Chain A
Amino acid sequence: MGSQTRRRLTGAPTSLTFRTFVALAAGKAAARATQLAGRGGGTAITGMVARRVDPQILRKLVLDRGEPVVAITGSNGKTTTARFTAALLRGEGIEVSHNSAGANLVQGVTSLAVSYSSLRGRLPSGVLVVEVDEGALPKVAPELAPRALLVTDLFRDQLDRFGEIYAVKDAIESVAAALPPDAALVVNGDDPMVAILAGEREGTRVTFGLELDRSTDEITRAADTIRCPRCQADLTYRHVYLSHMGDYRCAACGFKRPELDVAVTSLEVVGLDRTRCEIRTPAGRIAVDIPQSGVHIAYDAAGAIAILVGLGVPLDHAVESLADVGPAFGRLEKIDADDRSIVLAFAKNPTSYNTTLRALATEGEPRQLLIAASNTLVDGEDFGWLWDVDFESMAPKVERAVVSGLRADELANRLKYAGLSPRKMTVIEDRRDALDEALNGLPSGRRLVVLSGYTPLIELRNEMRRRGWTGRYWTV
């Protein structure tokens, strides 16, 4: 299908309307202006401005021109899966445009198309890899007509935005069921609520997951789908791999994990640095060594490989491609701050928090901690889920914590009840001041762990960049 993909690209050059041209120009100018003002990468503003001028801009740039799109959605792992997918496609000689900054709402996806597009409305030839927020999917999908749609997992992420996880599932179901038969639906077979998606649909379907002979996790209180999505009876697990993901079966109705087309058959997580796994694909087995750490990394890699399988793209260079993909923004990303080191760990819901805490615990971390949460449009308004995070396991290790962000109040109170003494905590809402405080108290040669939601992490990372500790992150 690779050649077919490229063929479609050369066809149907529609002429650009004046309005679309203005929208492109305005969007690009807005991005430039925000970057010059030093206020971030302009990842959302580009799309926002362009859509104001021409609400149909995304449809015109992508759908009307038949640009091939790979869309990745779900609660966790979108950004990393998109990065793996982009690397794998590039490794096979396919050009890729990709929203690697994780701006995945309508505006962010539009930004991607606008910034990669020329002023004449031409995208570079190749594939557009987009991560799409699970809530934005029903709006974005019709404007993209993806050739492959991957669903990573479904956790209760930002309940205050969506109401209930079932509403999110229904929204994804409507998009998945409507995919044309020649498009590939790629689903995580280990997540019961994802595995059951669009079961009636006829067309290409690729499943991925883990096939290990041991559990790598146990059901915790953050797990929220351990009932059968078909009949609501309790599921029984032969193995649990990550939260509610695993090899499950329903004794009542017979629903069980599907046969996996792409399966991780062995897995070794090496500290905070690497994940080694063997992956079975329809084209044979490959052994990959990825410079990122965690069970979730194995899921993301298997998902990305499953996308290539779904698109019919070969996997000739997969091993080399994956060996080069370092952590995405804030995913256990290491930064050298003069003589001290900082680990940035992004966490946005109980599952990503618990996954991250477990990875940090393998190295006895966190000991010196800067932790932040802010209520924003992207981070949500209700932080009750902080009480579902297993901070109790972290608290005894922590020597000192600076608590920051607009919801430092909730976070500090949560940590107190998890057993972290208020005497070890300093609450400083302002992110820059919090970073100063955290580093001032950090002994030379020691490591500071930064655990944070999306917005405060961007703010903190930008501050580190201003101090010359890290390169420019924004790529879109």
Chain B
Amino acid sequence: MTAPTALEATGPQTPAPHARRVRAQRRDHRPLRIAHLYPSLLNVAGDGGNLIAISRRAEWRGIRVEVAAVEKGETPDFRKFDVVLFHGGQDVEMAVAADDFAKKTPSLREAVDEGVLVFAVCAGLQLLGHRYISNAGEEMIGAGILDLETRGGPQRFMQHAACRVTIDGVTDTVVGFENHSGLTTLGPGCEAFGLVVAGAGNNGRDGLEGARSGNVFATYLHGPVLPKNPWLTDRLIEIAVSRAEGAPFTLAPLDDQLELRAHEVGLAKAMANRGRRTALEPAKLVRGLKRK
């Protein structure tokens, strides 16, 4: 059964806060329909900022956005959406989401086969894979949409990070903050989202960050990642709109000074941190005095 999904108001249409007029974008677009998975379960580390970034940057180009929160117990037809956002969460919430996610998986798989764009972060990445095996040996079954699996690791990677991402032959740097202990290994059925420049990436060993297969993008980068990587955000919007309208679509540029400044600072922090594999072990809750 398809339960109706709660439509979240996206707030008033905010005009582009730029002197420059956005031209040639006024042709009528269908609204961009975004499914936000588990906003009340998987909501740590400001990942909701990804939704804000996509929504505002689409609206600033005159593209209306409709957001549906898809919570536990709801099984919409994901083919009705253009974008599915699947964010990170803490272990306990992730386990709750994993139980429920199995019921959403068949519809999501159909949507992915039709090219619906999925953007997943951290727990979202892990649950799109085959399975997650915790340190205690418990197994969470994932969607198997991405050919990857994850095992609990001995330490937590918590640091600024950066990687190189290539989309449609164009490569750029993506920065963010990683905060995970799971170690992910990619299978032959998917490629990496990016190549590690600084940080631990999927597992601290193979230099790969996240995963990608077709229009499914998954990363470990929080930050939140999209607001400070406007290049990536715009590519995602373009992919989603092009698919929805069946014709290639290019976004007009915006004044991204503030975004690029945040990007630069994130990159500088990641580079300063390069070579340090981790920031903190989970057991080390207490900052002692001796920091040598």
Contact = CB atoms under 8 A, between A and B. Distances in A.
A384 B224 contact: yes
B179 A224 contact: no
Contact of B48 (A232, A387, A418): A387
Contacts of A382: 45, 158, 177, 179, 222-223
A470 B225 CA distance: 41
Given A159-B44, A382-B222, A413-B259, A106 B288 contact: yes
Given A135-B286, A163-B158, A388 B48 contact: yes
Interface string B44-55: 111111001100
A89 interface: no
Contacts, number: 138
Nearest to B52: A417
B156 interface: yes
Interface residues of B, number: 52
A141 B46 CA distance: 32
Contact of A171 (B49, B56, B285): B285
Interface in B146-181: 156, 158-160, 177, 179, 181
Interface stretch (B78-86, B87-95, B127-135, B192-200): B87-95
Contacts of B48: 221, 387-388
Interface in A163-182: 163-168, 171
Nearest to B39: A221
A166 B227 contact: no
B224 A413 contact: no
A268 interface: no
Contacts of A388: 43, 46, 48
Contact of B44 (A156, A226, A392, A414): A156
A167 B3 CA distance: 35
A139 B286 contact: yes
Interface stretch (A72-80, A280-288, A419-427): A419-427
Contacts of A381: 158-160, 177, 279
Contacts of B289: 48, 51-52, 55, 106-107
A384 B222 contact: yes
Interface string A371-414: 00000010001111111100010000000000000010110111
Nearest to A110: B289
Contact of A166 (B14, B53, B91, B280): B91
Given A52-B289, A160-B177, A171-B285, A422 B222 contact: no
A14 to B, nearest CB: 24
A39 interface: no
B258 interface: yes
A227 B90 contact: no
A407 B265 contact: yes
A409 B265 contact: yes
Contacts of B39: 221
B271 to A, nearest CB: 15
A417 B285 contact: no
Given A386-B46, A410-B265, A166 B92 contact: yes
A105 interface: yes
A135 B286 CA distance: 6
B287 A105 contact: yes
B287 A106 contact: yes
Given A227-B93, A232-B96, A387 B286 contact: no
Given A384-B46, A384-B47, A413 B262 contact: yes
Contacts of A168: 285
Contacts of B265: 407, 409-410
A298 B41 CA distance: 29
Nearest to B228: A413
A337 interface: no
B257 interface: yes
A174 B48 CA distance: 32
A161 interface: yes
B4 interface: no
Contacts of B285: 135, 138, 162, 167-168, 171
B92 to A, nearest CB: 6
B30 interface: no
A384 B262 contact: no
Interface residues on A, range: 35 or more
Given A384-B223, A413-B227, A417-B56, A164 B90 contact: yes
Contacts of B228: 410, 413
B287 A159 contact: no
B248 interface: no
A417 B53 contact: yes
Interface in A209-239: 219, 221, 223-224, 226-227, 232, 234
A78 B177 CA distance: 28
B189 interface: no
Given A164-B90, A416-B17, A409 B223 contact: no
A384 B280 contact: no
A340 B285 CA distance: 44
A139 B288 contact: yes
B214 interface: no
A414 B227 contact: yes
B21 to A, nearest CB: 15
A410 B72 CA distance: 32
A94 interface: no
B282 interface: yes
B216 to A, nearest CB: 23
B276 interface: no
A192 to B, nearest CB: 13
A385 B43 CA distance: 10
Interface string A417-441: 1110111000100000000000000
B91 A384 contact: no
A135 B287 CA distance: 8
Contacts of A165: 90
A136 interface: yes
Given A227-B96, A387-B52, A388-B46, A422 B223 contact: no
B29 interface: no
Contacts of B49: 384, 387, 414, 417
Nearest to B158: A160
Contacts of B282: 163, 167
Contacts of A163: 156, 158, 179, 181, 280, 282
Contacts of B159: 381
A386 B53 CA distance: 13
12 contacts: A52-B289, A106-B288, A171-B285, A221-B43, A221-B48, A227-B41, A381-B279, A382-B179, A387-B47, A416-B17, A421-B17, A422-B18
Given A226-B40, A234-B72, 11 more contacts: A106-B289, A138-B285, A138-B286, A168-B285, A232-B95, A387-B227, A388-B46, A413-B262, A414-B227, A416-B259, A417-B52
